[in-house]
Amino acid sequence: MYKTLIPIFDLDDTLYCEHDYVRSGFKSVANFITSKNNTANAGLIYNNFINVWLSHGRGKVFDIVCENLSIPFDIAKLVQVYREHQPKLELYDDAKEVLSYFNTKKIPMGLITDGNSTMQWRKIKSLKLDELIDVIIVTDDLGFEYWKPNAAPYKKAAKILNVPIEKCVYIGDNPNKDFVTAKKLGMHTIRIVRPVGDHAKTRLNKTYEADKEIYSLIELLENWS
């Protein structure tokens, strides 16, 4: 079914574990605080970041921890350090194998990812995806209003890849936004369900879910081999 299709991937929690990026960012912020305040303990701050994140989510981690530990820092500066830190990330093993296979077979690939442009490009560079994937679209480069589920990035990717949009398949993890527009445009859709991830347990109605669900990207090779 998919053998003649062009794969377009999501990034976070599809090709690598986003929680690794979050931990990396928290470590960089903890070290930054310590570098500016000799009495601060980087390990203690980092552990507090992790605990608050796991219990409250990411939104107010720096605010809560700085208040709890009486750390007098500009939160906006900490957010900047988080976004601009250089992560060291690894692709999932199945992602390495699948991307290598598609490259060996000279099958063009695309990537569409939401998120702050600086953050996403640093992830992409760390994972060396700019060396593996033909067309990369960070939607924030187009403008916040063009983040998924906006149709523009899907259309742009297909256009640059020079294929009809119905000859593309979008592979992502987040049913809130990854598949609904892609399906309306005529794209095929596949959802990868990881053991860990912000959307691993999310289940929505048929309109938002992908055409097919897999639990390893290796399953893709059954369709392209």
* pLDDT band of 160, cuts 50, 70, 90: very high
Determine the Cα–Cα distance for residues 16 and 13; give it in Å rounded to an integer. Answer: 5
What the block records as the tokens of 99 is 């991307």
Amino acid identity of residue 7, one-letter, is P
pLDDT digits (tens, 9 = 90+) for 55-95: 998 889 999 999 999 998 999 999 999 999 999 999 999 99
* DSSP structure string for 184-225: HTT-EEEEE--SSSTTTT----TTTS-SEEESSGGGGHHHH-
Contact 151, 185 (CB under 8 A): yes
Bridge partners of 188?
A: 169
pLDDT digits (tens, 9 = 90+) for 166-193: 999 999 999 999 999 999 999 999 999 9
Determine the Cα–Cα distance for residues 85 and 119; give it in Å rounded to an integer. Answer: 8
* DSSP structure string for 117-129: HHHHHHHHHHTTG
pLDDT digits (tens, 9 = 90+) for 102-149: 999 999 999 999 999 999 999 999 999 999 999 999 999 999 999 999
For residue 55, the tally of other CB atoms under 10 A from its CB is: 9
Contact 114, 136 (CB under 8 A): no
Mean pLDDT of the chain: 96
Is the pTM for the entire model greater than 0.85?
yes
- Which of these, 62, 59, 56, lies nearest to 76 by C-alpha position? 62
- pLDDT reported for residue 1: 65
Q: Where are the alpha helices (DSSP H) in the chain?
A: 18-36, 42-56, 61-68, 75-84, 93-104, 117-126, 139-142, 152-161, 180-184, 221-224
Tell me if the bond preceding 149 is cis, omega within 30° of 0. Answer: yes
* pLDDT band of 223, cuts 50, 70, 90: confident
pLDDT digits (tens, 9 = 90+) for 195-213: 988 898 999 999 999 999 9
* pLDDT band of 38, cuts 50, 70, 90: confident
